[in-house]
Amino acid sequence: MKSSRHKNPGPPDQGNPGRGRAWGDFTVSGRDASLQIIDSGLTWKVQGHAADCRVEWDDVITAYLGGVSRGPGVKARVGVAPQEDRFTLHYIEHKKNNILRHKHVTFIGHAGQQKEWIVCVADKTGHGRPKCLLTLVNPIGGQKKGAKLYETIVGPLFALAGIDAKLIITERFRHAEEIAKTYDFTDVDGLIVSGGDGLMQEVIHGLIPRFNKRVNFNDPDVELKPLPITLGALPTGTGNGISMACHGCTDLETATLAVVRGEKHCQNIVSIHGSPGPLVGYAVFASGYGFWADLFRNADDHRWLKTYRYLVGAFQILFSGKREFSVEGEYLPIARPDKHIRAAEDIARNTDTEGWVKFSGTFTGINSFPGGFYRGEGRPGGLLWRQDGAGMNMYLEKQTSKISYLKWMLGISRREGDLNVLQCNADHIEEHYVKAFRFRLTTSDSAREAHGEACSPTEDMRREHQHQHLVFLDEEVRHMETLSMDVRILRNVTEFFCAKPTA
């Protein structure tokens, strides 16, 4: 709900609410209220309240005859037996930090007039919204509450909006990929994934080959056709970066209401290839090589710790010595769509460069974020949000002290669920806005070896085998056959249900 203070424009001609602008007198929670239809939606003034209440048509979920049942939760607010003297409006309230909330208000008036208001609301809303959805739910993702969260939050909101939601509970690893490859989407308006980034990874890698026949996926320059199905990311997993890139937060009710609203946005993704070598995979949120790939690999060994496994994995790597590697590479810079889309200061000499720019050095990580970071006015870090540009943020991470790096990581984890701010303005990070980059390893040594600590040949070989060929795609670790990596931005391949940014 968007509230604003303004003078009452005076009552227009009272009459049938379906005929242009109209108004009516009601009571709301025992107080007199004046309800008015305007071009952009509904507005009402409640006696004793300083501000008018306004709801745009895009934020109206539904209206029906009668009130609501008592009790907490979404299910209790779906409705009771019709009462001729009242109707209930369900709508979406926009709160700070991109959070959306389901709200309702019941207008009580003279019996017999409410149906006209309901018909008017129905006529003005719902256009372009999904009518039928397929939802895949990972029951063991996150805190193993995926099915329960769908039952208590997602399902009731879809039902309230009149969405025919077909539910499939995934039963095994890559089950979602199998469904994406074979399900008949003819009458489906969207494929909703309730889980973490891993479940969406399965769906992406099932859909792209299905709808791109006779394509050489091992060619980094190949052009892919847009997927014909809109995707939705509901954050019920351990890693929910894709949902954050789509909605600006990892709030489940927000993500569900974004699907209800039906607003869509083409989300950039990247392809990762060996160089030369076959396709490694696609990423929607982030991809990279080095520290973060090592972290996610270690975290897989501690899944029983749930979300704490990332912190434990980070401590293990930091205090045993972050792996360093030397590379030679190049990136293809591209103009930023907005001067604030950055995580660190621009490197001026590369701003207007045409063609590939060479780089080399020793790093602990090389990462890309197609989801995007930008630094808003007055913000100390980068706000994760979808981008409208043709590029991605590329980050070169250099070695820094264990304590400094740990503080930086803790700063990210503390802010991610609150202000959605990621502190990427760090001295150890060099950032570029690019449409492609590639590199090859020239040496690979652990920080422990760099400090002269001896390692047995067996440990050396194990580290080489486990880490040198690992890359991460949306927090999922994959194996790369070569010691070279080629990353390209892919635009307009995927379309997602996305929340509207808060002004």
Task: Assess if residue 236 is contained within a domain.
Answer: yes
502 located within any domain: no
DSSP 175-220: HHHHHHHH---TT-SEEEEEE-HHHHHHHHHHHHHHTSTT--TT-T
Residue 388 belongs to some domain of the structure: yes
CA gap 133, 162 in Å, rounded: 11
pLDDT score for 15: 53
Closest alpha carbon to 244 in 406, 107, 97, 59: 97
Would you state the pLDDT for residue 190? Answer: 97
Q: Which residues contact 314 (CB under 8 A, 6 or more apart)?
A: 295, 406, 409
Together in a domain, 400 and 468: yes
In a domain, 278, yes or no: yes
Cα–Cα distance list, 69 to 72, 73, 77, 186, 489 (Å) = 9, 10, 6, 37, 50
**Pick from 74, 95, 124: which residue ends a domain?**
124
Q: Look at residue 342 and tell me if it is in a domain.
A: yes
Number of domains, the chain:
2
pLDDT tens over the chain, length 503 residues: 443 333 333 333 445 555 445 788 999 989 999 999 999 999 999 998 888 999 999 999 999 988 886 544 555 455 555 678 899 999 999 998 789 999 999 999 888 788 889 999 999 998 889 999 999 999 887 677 889 999 999 999 999 999 999 999 999 999 999 999 999 999 999 999 999 999 999 999 999 999 999 999 999 999 999 999 999 999 998 888 889 888 888 899 999 999 999 999 888 899 999 988 799 999 998 899 988 888 777 766 666 656 666 666 666 777 777 788 999 999 999 887 665 444 434 444 444 456 899 999 999 999 998 865 544 444 433 444 555 568 888 989 998 887 887 777 776 665 543 333 344 557 788 888 899 999 999 975 444 444 444 455 555 555 555 667 899 998 788 988 888 999 999 988 999 999 876 65
For residues 307 and 444, state if they share a domain: yes
Tell me: do 99 and 162 sit in the same domain: no
Within a domain: residue 129?
Answer: no
CATH number of the domain that 64 lies in?
2.30.29.30
Q: Do 231 and 142 lie in a common domain?
A: yes
Note down the domain range covering 304. Answer: 134-497
Q: What is the structure's pLDDT at 454?
A: 47
Strands 190-195 and 132-137: parallel
Residue 347 in domain:
yes
Q: What SS3 state is found at 163?
A: coil
Same domain membership, residue 288 and residue 186: yes
Please indicate, yes or no, whether residues 113 and 193 belong to a single structural domain of this protein.
Answer: no
Residue 68 sits in the same domain as residue 194: no
Clarify whether residues 196 and 265 are in a common domain.
yes
- 203 & 310 share domain: yes
Q: What residue type is assigned to position 318 of the chain?
A: L
Sheet holding 2-4, edge to edge: 2-4, 52-56, 41-46, 31-38, 22-28, 100-108, 86-94, 60-65
Q: State the pLDDT at residue 366.
A: 94
CATH number of the domain to which 173 belongs? 2.60.200.40
DSSP letter at 140? T
Claim to verify: residue 66 and residue 144 sit in the same structural domain: no
Whole-prediction pTM: 0.84
CB 138 within 8 A of CB 194: yes
Tokens in use for 294? 């090592």
Q: Which residues pair with 132 in a beta bridge?
A: 164
Q: Are residues 110 and 139 in the same domain?
A: no
Instruction: Indicate whether 143 and 174 sit together in one domain.
Output: yes
Domain end point (choices 82, 98, 124): 124
What is the phi/psi pair of residue 15, to 5°? Answer: 170, -155
- Give the pLDDT score at 9: 37
Q: Domain for residue 93, yes or no?
A: yes
pLDDT of residue 457: 53
What is residue 452's predicted lDDT score, i.e. its pLDDT?
Answer: 45
Domain boundary among 69, 103, 124: 124
